[in-house]
Amino acid sequence: MNRAIAAYNDLQEQQSKTVENRLLEFSNSKILIAEDSPTVRFQVARYLTLYGLMQIKFAKNGQEALDIAIAWQPDLILTDLHMPIMDGFELCSQIRANSNLKDIPILVLTGAEKQEERAAVFDAGATDLIRKPVYHLELVGRLQVHLERGQLIKRLTEYKERVALELDLGKTMQVGMLPDQVLIDKVLETYPIDMASHYQPSIGLGGDLWGIKPLDSDRLFVYVLDFSGHGVGAAINTFRFQTFYKGIHKIVGPAELMEKLNFFLKGILPIGQFATMFCAILDFEKEEMTFSSAGAPPALVKTDGTSGRFLSLDGTGFPLGLRSSGGYENSTLKFPKRSSLFLYSDALVETPDPPNSIFDYAGLADFLNGSDDPHSCVSRVVGVLNKITEGNDDALSDDVTVFCLTHLDKRIGSDQ
Amino acid sequence: MKLTTTQDRTTFHARIADRLAFSDHKPFRELLFAVTDSGAKTCVFDLSQLNSIDSSGLGMFMVAHEEGVSNGWELVLKGANEHVNALLKLGKFDEILTLQEA
């Protein structure tokens, strides 16, 4: 019998020298063999070394295999089913339950087990089966498939982690373009206003932006901008905008600024990309607001005190970057004390997708009018966000920006 | 985007249904190639079944418009519902593109 086995093994070894070595590129792979039979351990290891796999470790039972796997992180595990101390079923379960090991392919060496038992091994977490006695070409074929798959998953995981890191870095840079707390504090000290905002890109980076800029002791410039699309492409356009915006030394008026910005973006954006924008100059001395819109969602304004209602302003206008000349115009309205301005990007009225959106323009105004705390900008911003997400931020499929400002009787923290 | 296309001698008809959004960029580009390859003089996008559109979708209409200008066919957007129509008018796209009622 032993002579017959030896002859069979010799035949297999001879064949291995005549067939193409499909495991050549996996010669650095680490293989763990869990098998209580020294004969089978020796046979399998011999085949692997014949195909150039030299990093092999052995375990005589499942517990040994698990300990080695934790310490050594093999690329693939070959295991017997029936072993002392811990069998192959339990080993599979333990490997799958370990977050550091769960993706390792496990190939189970099966002998005369019943069909039900062979099926159950997959429930335990096995990746594939190899029949004993092991035929080297089958072993090589299955190893190739599973090592390739493992390598692919590893590369994808590394790629995903790298992209996530880069997106995080990009997000930090993008958030850096938003008004920081120093600017917000300065604005709250300078003007008689309450203010709140929320900014959330849909996939790490986004095409939305909002900003405030003190013009003098009485006038504040505000804007909300939304580039078409979302993700990296739209985010890059926000950086382009920032380049333009930082170069503006004097803001004459909203329409004048948008005309310049339109010209700038028309020169660099490809066909099909554009930005919508609402911007305004709030003059707290004259108690008026001058604004212009480039196709932005209609801004909501409440100008007749606490008893008044939010109404939509006309947002009609060519989005920026669409045509050489936008033809933007300024409009002015009274913005007395206790007036409020509510700006938002389109995600607020398109979540979930129309026609099932929670808010349309009129519905959003109604919601704000019914707000429990009509004086607080924070409660308005939080209120609408909670309404559309119901606490689940994943409900948003697009970037979202919300900005609210109220003209107060006096500056926060002052007696005047 | 759910897309159905038909063609007669001079006109390419494309019914764009459901939602037109950022993720439809590739099939939309392929649609434009198909329109140009067909030799049609007019391309009608039937929007009657289009429930929603995002800013990328509006941008795609602009790309289609330019593609038509460059390749000798005219784009017509037909039958947009109230919501889509409102977005087209908010951005004054109706002053650049040809819109038709259903």
Same domain, A132 and A72: yes
The reported pLDDT for the residue numbered A361 is 87
CB contact under 8 A, B62 and A271: yes
Residue A227 with chain B: CB contacts under 8 Å:
55
Same domain, A154 and A206: no
How near does any CA of chain A get to the CA of B8, in Å?
Answer: 28
Same domain, A274 and A150: no
The reported pLDDT for the residue numbered A7 is 67
Report the distance separating Cα A193 and Cα A190, nearest Å: 9
End-to-end CA distance of chain B: 20
Report the distance separating Cα A39 and Cα A87, nearest Å: 18
Where among A166, A192, A213 does a domain terminate? A166
The reported pLDDT for the residue numbered A10 is 72
CB contact under 8 A, A316 and B90: yes
From first to last of the 416 residues of chain A, give the pLDDT tens digit.
566 667 666 766 666 666 667 788 898 999 999 999 999 999 999 989 988 899 999 999 999 999 999 999 999 999 999 999 999 999 999 999 999 999 999 999 988 667 788 788 899 999 999 988 888 889 989 999 999 998 998 899 999 999 999 999 998 999 999 999 999 999 999 999 999 999 988 777 889 999 999 999 999 999 999 999 888 999 999 999 999 999 998 999 999 999 999 999 999 999 999 999 999 999 999 999 999 999 999 999 998 766 688 999 999 999 999 999 999 999 999 999 999 999 999 888 888 888 888 888 889 999 998 875 666 899 999 999 988 888 676 667 778 899 999 999 888 777 65
Number of domains in chain A: 2
Q: Which of A271, A295, A346 sits opposite B63 (nearest CB)?
A: A271
CB contact under 8 A, B55 and A355: no
Q: Per the structure block, which two tokens stand in for A201?
A: 């890109």
Residue A346 with chain B: CB contacts under 8 Å:
54-55
Residue A415 lies in a domain: no
Report the distance separating Cα A170 and Cα A157, nearest Å: 20
Q: What's the domain range around A39?
A: 2-166
Q: pTM of the predicted model, to two decimals?
A: 0.81
| CATH number, residue A101 | 3.40.50.2300
Same domain, A161 and A183: no
Instruction: Give the closest residue to A91 by CA, choosing from A127, A38, A57.
Output: A127
Report the distance separating Cα A176 and Cα A142, nearest Å: 51
Q: Which of A230, A271, A353 sits opposite B52 (nearest CB)?
A: A353
CB contact under 8 A, B59 and A274: yes
Same domain, A337 and A390: yes
Q: Which long-range contacts (CB under 8 A, 24 or more apart) does A387-393 make?
A: A387/A358, A387/A359, A388/A348, A388/A351, A388/A358, A388/A359, A389/A351, A393/A200
CB contact under 8 A, A273 and B59: yes
Residue A95 lies in a domain: yes
For residue A239, give every residue at least 6 positions away whose Cβ sits within 8 Å of its Cβ, in sequence order, or none: A173, A174, A177
What secondary structure, in 3-state letters, does chain A show?
A: CHHHHHHHHHHHHHHHHHCCCCCHHHCCCEEEEECCCHHHHHHHHHHHHHCCCCEEEEECCHHHHHHHHHHHCCCEEEEECCCCCCCHHHHHHHHHHCCCCCCCCEEEEECCCCHHHHHHHHHHCCCEEEECCCCHHHHHHHHHHHHHHHHHHHHHHHHHHHHHHHHHHHHHHHHCCCCCHHHHHHHHHHCCEEEEEEEECCECECCEEEEEEECCCCEEEEEEEEECCCCHHHHHHHHHHHHHHHCCCCCCCHHHHHHHHHHHHHHHCCCCCCEEEEEEEEECCCCEEEEEEEECCCCEEECCCCCCCCEECCCCCCCECCCCCCCCCCEEEECCCCCEEEEECHHHHCCCCCCCCCCCHHHHHHHHHCCCCCCCHHHHHHHHHHHHHCCCHHHCCCCEEEEEEEECCCCCCCCC
**Chain centre distance of CA A179:** 23
Report the distance separating Cα B16 and Cα B14, nearest Å: 6
Same domain, A126 and A155: yes
CB contact under 8 A, A315 and B59: no
Q: Which of A229, A271, A323 sits opposite B66 (nearest CB)?
A: A271
Same domain, A252 and A383: yes
Same domain, A130 and A181: no
Residue B54 with chain A: CB contacts under 8 Å:
346, 350, 398
Report the distance separating Cα A208 and Cα A201, nearest Å: 7
CB contact under 8 A, B52 and A272: no
CB contact under 8 A, A295 and B60: no
Taking one residue from A and the other from B, the number of pairs with CB-CB distance under 8 angstroms is 62
How near does any CA of chain B get to the CA of A121, in Å?
Answer: 40
**Chain centre distance of CA A117:** 42
Residue A290 lies in a domain: yes
How near does any CA of chain B get to the CA of A405, in Å?
Answer: 24
Same domain, A191 and A117: no
Site of tokens 């808010």: A359
CB contact under 8 A, A276 and B22: no
Locate the chain B residue with the closest alpha carbon to A294.
B91
Q: Is A301:A340 a contact under the CB 8 Å cutoff? A: yes
Same domain, A82 and A192: no
Same domain, A159 and A181: no
Looking at residue A111, its amino acid is G
Q: Which of B52, B59, B92 sits opposite A272 (nearest CB)?
A: B59
| CATH number, residue A189 | 3.60.40.10
Q: Which of A271, A274, A355 sits opposite B83 (nearest CB)?
A: A355
Sign, Cα dihedral of A231, A205, A293, A357: positive
Same domain, A183 and A90: no
Q: Which of A230, A271, A317 sits opposite B22 (nearest CB)?
A: A230
Report the distance separating Cα A18 and Cα A414, nearest Å: 90
From first to last of the 102 residues of chain B, give the pLDDT tens digit.
999 999 998 999 999 999 999 899 999 999 999 999 999 999 999 999 999 999 999 999 999 999 999 999 999 999 999 999 999 999 999 999 999 988
Per domain, the residue ranges of chain B are 2-100
Residue A353 with chain B: CB contacts under 8 Å:
19, 51-52
Superfamily of domain B2-100: STAS domain (3.30.750.24)
How near does any CA of chain A get to the CA of B52, in Å?
Answer: 5
| Relative orientation angle of helices A88-97 and A62-72, to the nearest 10 degrees | 30
Q: Which of B56, B63, B90 sits opposite A295 (nearest CB)?
A: B90
Residue A172 lies in a domain: no
The reported pLDDT for the residue numbered A18 is 61
